[in-house]
Amino acid sequence: MKKILFIDNWKKGYKNFTRLNDEFIKNQFTTILVHTGSFTGEGDVKEEFIDGLLVRDISFYKTILIKKVIEVEKPDVILILNLSFIFDRAIVNICKKIGIKLIFLAHGKLVSVESVAEVKSNLNKDIRTNISRVFRKKNFLVLINYFSSLKTGGKFISSFKMIKGIVANPSGYLTMPNYDKELDADLILLYTNEDKRLYNERFGFPKDKIKVVGNPEIFEIINTPTQVKNLFLRDIGFNENDNYVLYLDDGLVCGNIWTKEEWYNHLKEILNEINILGYKLIIKLHPREDLNNHLKFFNENNILALKNIDFKNSIIHSEAVISHYSTTILFSLVFNKKVISPKWGKSLELHENYPSNLINYIYSTHDFKIALVEDNNNDLVVKNYLKSQGINKDTNTITKIIDEVKECVNS
What digits encode the pLDDT tens for the residues 219-260? Answer: 888 888 999 999 999 999 999 999 999 999 999 998 888 999
Q: Do residues 92 and 194 both lie within one domain?
A: yes
Q: Do residues 231 and 272 both lie within one domain?
A: yes
SS (H, E, C) 92-134: HHHHHHHCCEEEEECCCCCCCHHHHHHHHHHHHHHHHHCHHHH
Task: For residue 57, name the pLDDT band (cuts at 50, 70, 90).
Answer: very high
The secondary structure of 266-313 as a DSSP string is HHHHHHHHHHHTT-EEEEE--TTS-GGGTHHHHHHTTEEEESS--HHH
Q: Any residues with CB less than 8 A from the CB of 104 and at least 6 apart, and which?
A: 79, 80, 81, 82, 83, 185, 187, 188, 189
Interatomic CA distance for residues 213 and 190, integer angstroms: 6
- What percent of the chain is modeled with pLDDT above 90? 66
User: Over 60: is that where the pLDDT of 153 sits?
Assistant: no
Most confident option among 62-71, 254-263, 393-402: 62-71
Q: Are 47 and 56 in contact (CB under 8 A)?
A: yes
Q: Do residues 113 and 237 both lie within one domain?
A: no
3-state DSSP call for residue 3? strand
Question: What pLDDT shows up at residue 26?
Answer: 97
The structure's pTM equals: 0.81
Question: What pLDDT shows up at residue 137?
Answer: 80
Task: For residue 378, name the pLDDT band (cuts at 50, 70, 90).
Answer: confident
| CA-to-CA dists, residue 350 to 115, 126, 138, 358, angstroms | 10, 13, 28, 17
User: Over 80: is that where the pLDDT of 405 sits?
Assistant: yes
| Average pLDDT score over residue span 274-281 | 96
Q: Any residues with CB less than 8 A from the CB of 311 and at least 6 apart, and which?
A: 221, 224, 284, 328, 331
- Identify the helix (H) or strand (E) that includes residue 196: helix 193-197
* Residue 77 included in any domain: yes
Interatomic CA distance for residues 299 and 186, integer angstroms: 48
Question: What pLDDT shows up at residue 68?
Answer: 98
Question: What pLDDT shows up at residue 155?
Answer: 62
For all residues of the chain together, what is the average pLDDT? 90
Task: For residue 43, name the pLDDT band (cuts at 50, 70, 90).
Answer: low
Question: What pLDDT shows up at residue 376?
Answer: 79
Least confident span in 119-128, 205-214, 260-269? 119-128
Q: Do residues 173 and 238 both lie within one domain?
A: no
Q: What's the order of all strands across the beta sheet hosting 187-190?
A: 47-50, 53-57, 29-35, 2-8, 77-80, 101-105, 187-190, 210-212
Kindly report the backbone phi and psi dihedral angles of residue 53, in degrees, each rounded to the nearest multiple of 5, phi listed first.
-100, 130
Task: For residue 190, name the pLDDT band (cuts at 50, 70, 90).
Answer: very high
Please report, for the domain that includes residue 296, its CATH number: 3.40.50.2000
Q: Domain containing 297: what range?
A: 225-388
Question: What pLDDT shows up at residue 168?
Answer: 73
| Average pLDDT score over residue span 172-195 | 89
| Average pLDDT score over residue span 51-65 | 97
Q: Do residues 352 and 399 both lie within one domain?
A: no
* Residue 220 included in any domain: no
Interatomic CA distance for residues 19 and 333, integer angstroms: 21
* Residue 30 included in any domain: yes
> How many domains is the chain partitioned into structurally?
2
Question: What pLDDT shows up at residue 339?
Answer: 96
Interatomic CA distance for residues 69 and 73, integer angstroms: 6
* Residue 219 included in any domain: no
Q: Do residues 233 and 177 both lie within one domain?
A: no
Q: Do residues 267 and 312 both lie within one domain?
A: yes
Q: Do residues 154 and 61 both lie within one domain?
A: yes
Ramachandran region, residue 172 (left: φ > 0; alpha: ψ -120 to 50; beta: rest): alpha
- What percent of the chain is modeled with pLDDT above 70? 95
- Residue scoring higher pLDDT (336 or 376): 336
Q: Do residues 183 and 53 both lie within one domain?
A: yes
* Residue 321 included in any domain: yes
* Residue 40 included in any domain: yes
- Residue scoring higher pLDDT (387 or 171): 387
Q: Do residues 320 and 200 both lie within one domain?
A: no
Residue 148 CA, chain-centre distance (Å), reads: 28
Task: For residue 392, name the pLDDT band (cuts at 50, 70, 90).
Answer: confident
Task: For residue 307, name the pLDDT band (cuts at 50, 70, 90).
Answer: confident
Question: What pLDDT shows up at residue 287?
Answer: 86
User: Over 80: is that where the pLDDT of 121 sits?
Assistant: no
User: Over 70: is that where the pLDDT of 353 sits?
Assistant: yes
Q: Do residues 200 and 90 both lie within one domain?
A: yes
Q: Do residues 204 and 284 both lie within one domain?
A: no
The CA-based angle 122-123-125, given to 5 degrees, is 65
Ramachandran region, residue 15 (left: φ > 0; alpha: ψ -120 to 50; beta: rest): alpha
Interatomic CA distance for residues 182 and 86, integer angstroms: 9
User: Over 70: is that where the pLDDT of 354 sits?
Assistant: yes
Interatomic CA distance for residues 310 and 47, integer angstroms: 28
For the segment 327-346, what is each residue's pLDDT rounded down to a tens digit? Answer: 889 889 999 899 999 999 99
User: Over 80: is that where the pLDDT of 117 sits?
Assistant: no
